[in-house]
């Protein structure tokens, strides 16, 4: 199996900035890097299941706590 090099963490963000948000209308979940100053989720991706969450962490080479 080919080992994939993780992406660099987006500038200005750390592993502590990762947040999962859920839509109050549809219940749809997204994961991304939360910026407290503009109160937005950046580099957000859709979460359909726990595997999507794991993939997000692997994508950026972050160990999930």
In a domain, 26, yes or no: yes
Q: Is residue 22 part of a domain?
A: yes
Residue ranges, the chain, pLDDT below 50: none
Task: Provide the pairing of β-strand 29-35 with 40-47.
Answer: antiparallel
Could you tell me if residue 34 is inside a domain? Answer: yes
pLDDT at position 64? 87
Domain assignment of residue 7, yes or no: no
Rounded to whole angstroms, the Cα distance separating 22 from 7 reads 25
Return the percentage of the chain with pLDDT > 90, whole number: 89
Q: What confidence score (pLDDT) does residue 21 get?
A: 97
Residue 8 lies in a domain: no
> Does any domain span residue 27?
yes
Number of domains, the chain: 1
pLDDT of residue 1: 61
The reply to whether 13 falls in a domain is no
Question: Which pLDDT score is estimated for 4?
Answer: 79
The answer to whether position 43 is within a domain reads yes
Print the domain residue range for 34: 18-59
């Amino acid at each position: 199996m080919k080992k994939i090099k993780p992406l660099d963490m987006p500038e200005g963000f750390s592993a502590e900035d990762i947040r999962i948000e859920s839509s109050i209308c549809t219940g749809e979940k997204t994961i991304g890097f939360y910026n407290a100053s503009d109160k937005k989720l950046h580099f957000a991706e859709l979460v359909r299941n726990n595997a999507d969450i794991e993939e997000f962490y692997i994508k950026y080479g972050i160990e999930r706590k």
